[in-house]
Amino acid sequence: MHKFKYSKYIQILMSVTASMMVVAPSIALAATPPPTKAAAPPPNPTYGQALEIAPPVIYLTVNPGETKKTQIFLRDISSGDLIVTGEANDFTAAGDDGTPKILLGDEAANNPYSMKKWVVAPASLNLVPREMKTMAITINVPATASPGGHYGIIRFTATPPSLKK
Amino acid sequence: MTLRGKTDALFKLGLIALAIVYFSIFLSSNASAAQITSRSLTLEQGAGGDGGSKPGGTVKHKFDFTIPSNTTLGSIKFQYCTTASGTCSPVSGLTTTGSVTLSNQSGLTGFSLDNTTNGSPFIHRTAAAPGGANTAVSYELSGVVNPSTTNQTFYVRITTYSSEDVTTGATDTGTVAASTATQITLTGTMPESLIFCTGGAISLTSGIPDCSTATSGSITFNQLFSPADTAVAKSQMAASTNADFGYSITYTGATLTSGSNTVTAMTSATTSVRGTRQFGMNLTLNDGTAYTNAPNVTGSANIAPTSNGTNYRGQALTGYDTAGTFKFNAAGDSIANSANGGAGPTDVQLYTASYIANVSGGQPIGTYTTTLTYICTATF
């Protein structure tokens, strides 16, 4: 009787996420004055969100029950401080051109190639301009993981500290 | 005259004769063996990449000098020694035989290399010809193996000959010195990386989009919403990657919202129409031209630098890439990628997103906002 283990091929894409707030001029504020006791909102930062990540694609071969560690280099390329957080998601192909479609919410529920839950939520990092730090990524492959390819994406969001308060 | 007297006379004559001969030789020596001037030896990088002064490296030795005499020149010898003068001792590890070639010559040309004697190569020409007074020449020997010792100073005695085989007629001489040296090795690593930034504006530094100049991502429309005119706003983003299959940029976000009221998203690419309810975006080619039905939409510049299908591959995607049309998909959409000329790595390029908001006269009052999230991902 032969005993063998399945090897799994997993692919992790990295992405940089940045948000834009588009707002209309304050026509409504003139008609509806804000409450007088409301706390003043934090000032908007004067700089944008800019991040460099390396590598943007990771391929790993893992075995059921194995814990795999890897790392991502993150550099703040903006002109101000940034807090970087990472969030794992699954993805599938958006077409046949290699564009990933990130699976959010219910879309990921029955995804046979899912690995989102295998990824330990990465700790956030504080970066100053030009600083590069390493973010550790830990992947716990379940002993019951199905063989074949699994695909995940880790989205890194860089936020100025003033918008985190 | 006594015998002694005769002897003395002969001796004196002998002395005079010797003196004349010696003087003659001395004059002759001064006239023919002039000093080669403006001489130098440059150790240059070899074809295999060895640094010019690398100990044991296979490199090029380039000799530059000026030949002073206008006498017949048939050959030139380059004798490698451990000292500048005196007995010539061979330089350890030096090889001037085998595959060493005369790879360049100028000034006086037509020479061939004879490399049969290690440490003493010479160049010669089939028919000796006048050297030409004060002629600057240059000869480059390729494939020379440097002395094997680090920081080894060695000397090359250069001698010109009227003969074509460096056997007779030595004319001008000069010595140059050189040394091997400890190599300085620089190593740098370019990782696979992805760069992405957004902001209200991103400036170019020396023509290159510079993410460190990105301004705040909180932007405001240019005017109060009005059914009589189109409100516009702009933001910019820049991206680059050296990943094999390039990048893709998508966005997510709701349409402009104020409480329970919204400005209707332009779900397909259409033109701006004042007095209707529209919110949409465009990613390129709004180059300042005002459009007939949206006179305030003077929008954005094209993608910069311009894509060329090689090192610049950025492109806006269908639905967002036509001047004067706008679209917004609340479920998210792909708006750009680096597939101009085929998906692949690309240098950094700047995109400008133009947003428009049209309202009808009955649009409920309020401050309408949306937060758009742009996601730049390596493709696979």
Choose among B184, B157, B154: nearest CA to B172.
B157
Q: What is the structure's pLDDT at A112? A: 85
From CA B177, how far away is CA B221, in angstroms rounded?
72
Beta strands in B100-230 (DSSP E): 101-106, 112-114, 122-130, 135-145, 153-161, 170-179, 194-199, 204-205, 208-209, 218-220
Query: In a 3-state reduction of DSSP, which class is residue A31?
Result: helix
The answer for residues whose C-beta is within 8 angstroms of residue A49's C-beta and 6 or more apart is A18, A19, A78, A82, A158, A159, A160, B197, B198, B199, B214, B217
Q: What whole-number distance in Å separates Cα of residue B354 and Cα of residue B296? A: 12
**B residues 318..347 contacting A (CB < 8 A):** 334, 337, 339, 343
Residue A13 backbone phi and psi in degrees, to 5: -100, 145
At A103 the pLDDT is: 84
d(CA B348, CA B367): 35
- Largest interatomic CA distance in chain B: 150
Q: How far apart are CA A77 and CA A126, in angstroms?
A: 13
Rounded to the nearest angstrom, the minimum Cα separation between B253 and chain A is 9
Cα-based distances in Å from B44 to B90, B92, B151, B158: 21, 19, 16, 19
From chain A, the residues in CB contact with B200 under 8 A are 48
CA distances from A153 to A57, A95, B200, B364 (A): 9, 17, 27, 40
Q: Report the gap between the CA of A156 and the closest CA in chain B (Å).
A: 9
pLDDT band at B290 (very low <50, low <70, confident <90, very high): low
Alpha-carbon distances of A27 from A24, B348, B362, rounded to whole Å: 8, 38, 15
**DSSP H helical segments within B3-54, as ranges?**
3-32
For A73, the closest chain B residue by CA position comes to B193
Contact B199 A25 (CB under 8 A): no
Tens of pLDDT along A31-57?
333 333 445 555 667 898 999 999 999
Per-residue confidence (pLDDT) for residue B303, from 0 to 100? 77
The pLDDT, as a whole number, for residue B16 is: 41
- Chain-wide mean pLDDT for chain B? 86
Highest mean pLDDT among A134-143, A153-162, B297-306: A134-143
Q: A79 or B24: whose pLDDT is higher?
A: A79
Chain B positions touching A27 (Cβ under 8 A) are 224-225, 365-367
Chain A positions touching B223 (Cβ under 8 A) are: 25
Q: pLDDT at position B314, please?
A: 93
Q: Quick one: pLDDT at residue A23?
A: 66
Residue B76 to residue B166: CA distance in whole angstroms: 7
Task: Give me the mean pLDDT over the A92-100 stretch.
Answer: 82
Chain A residues near residue B218 by CB distance under 8 angstroms? 20-21, 23, 44
pLDDT the model gives residue B95: 97
Q: Please check the confidence at residue B341 and state whether its pLDDT lies above 90.
A: yes
- Per-residue pLDDT of B40-83, as tens digits, reads 999 999 999 999 999 999 999 999 999 988 888 999 999 999 99
The pLDDT of residue A27 is above 50: no
Write down the pLDDT at residue A42: 56
Residue of A nearest to B231 (CA): A24
pLDDT at A120 over 60: yes
pLDDT of residue A97: 79
Q: What 3-state DSSP class applies to B211?
A: helix
Q: Does B16 touch chain A (CB under 8 A)?
A: no
At B77-114, the pLDDT tens digits run: 999 999 999 999 999 999 999 999 999 999 999 999 99
Strand locations in B146-273 (E):
153-161, 170-179, 194-199, 204-205, 208-209, 218-220, 231-241, 247-252, 257-258, 261-262, 270-271
Instruction: Say whether B371 and A26 touch across the interface (CB within 8 A).
Output: no
CB contact under 8 A, B380 and A57: yes
Q: Which residue of B has its CA nearest to A25?
A: B224
| Cis peptide preceding B191, ω within 30 of 0 | no
Rounded mean pLDDT of B115-144? 91
Q: Check B194 against A17: CB less than 8 A apart.
A: no
Say if residue B342's pLDDT is above 60.
Answer: yes
The single residue listed with the structure tokens 């290690």 is B118
Which helix H or strand E contains B366, and what residues bound it?
Answer: none
Q: What is the pLDDT of residues B148-183, one digit of tens each?
A: 999 999 999 999 999 999 999 899 999 999 999 987
pLDDT exceeds 50 at position B18: no
Spatial distance between the Cα atoms of B94 and B147, rounded to a whole number of angstroms: 4
DSSP string across B69-136 = --SEEEEEEEEEESSSSSS-PPPTT-B-STT-EEEEEESS---EEE--STT--EEEEEEEEE--TTEE
Q: Which helix (H) or strand (E) holds B299?
A: none
pLDDT at A100: 85
Distance separating alpha carbons of residues B41 and B154, to the nearest angstrom: 11
Amino acid at A71: Q
Residue with tokens 């970087």: A84
* Cβ distance of B212 and A77 shorter than 8 Å: yes
d(CA B351, CA B209): 10
CA–CA distance, B275 with B359 (Å, rounded to integer): 5
Smallest Cβ distance to B256: which of A15, A24, A52?
A24
What's the gap in Å between the CA of A3 and the closest CA on chain B?
33
Q: Which residue has the higher pLDDT, B357 or A92?
A: B357
Tell me the sheet residues that pair with B271. B325
B65 backbone dihedrals φ, ψ, rounded to 5°: -165, 170
Would you call B371 an interface residue with chain A, using a CB distance cutoff of 8 Å? yes
* Proportion of chain B above pLDDT 90, given as a percent: 67
Q: Which residue in chain A is spatially nearest to B380 when comparing CA positions?
A: A98
Closest residue in chain A to residue B371, using alpha carbons only? A21
| A92, closest residue in chain B (CA to CA) | B380
Residue A56 to residue B199, Cβ atoms within 8 A: no
Largest CA distance in chain A: 80
Gap from B304 CA to chain A (nearest CA, Å):
18
pLDDT at A2 over 70: no
List the single residue in B195, B231, B355 with the smallest CB-CB distance to A52. B195
Laid out side by side, the sheet with B153-161 consists of B112-114, B122-130, B72-81, B153-161, B170-179
Tell me, yes or no, if B224 comes closer than 8 A to chain A by beta carbon: yes
Q: Residue B121 region, left (φ>0) first, then alpha (ψ -120 to 50), else beta?
A: beta
Residue A45 — φ and ψ, nearest 5°?
-65, 155
- Cα dist from B196 to A52, B121, B155, whole Å: 7, 59, 56
Per-residue model confidence (pLDDT) at position A22 = 65
Contacts with A77 from chain B: Cβ below 8 Å: 195, 197, 211-212
Q: Quote the tokens at residue A99.
A: 């564009």
Among B203, B210, B212, pick the best mutation site for testing chain A contact (most A Cβ within 10 A): B212
**Contact in structure between B127 and B162 (CB atoms under 8 Å):** no
Q: Which helix (H) or strand (E) holds B57?
A: none
Asked if pLDDT for residue B17 goes beyond 50, the answer is no
State how far residue B315 is from chain A, nearest Cα, in angstroms: 14
Contacts with A, B 195-214, CB within 8 Å: 195-200, 202, 211-214
Q: Contact at 8 Å (CB) between B180 and B55? A: yes
pLDDT of residue A53: 93
Taking residues B129-154, what's their average pLDDT? 91
CA distance A61 to A8: 5
Note the pLDDT of residue B24: 34
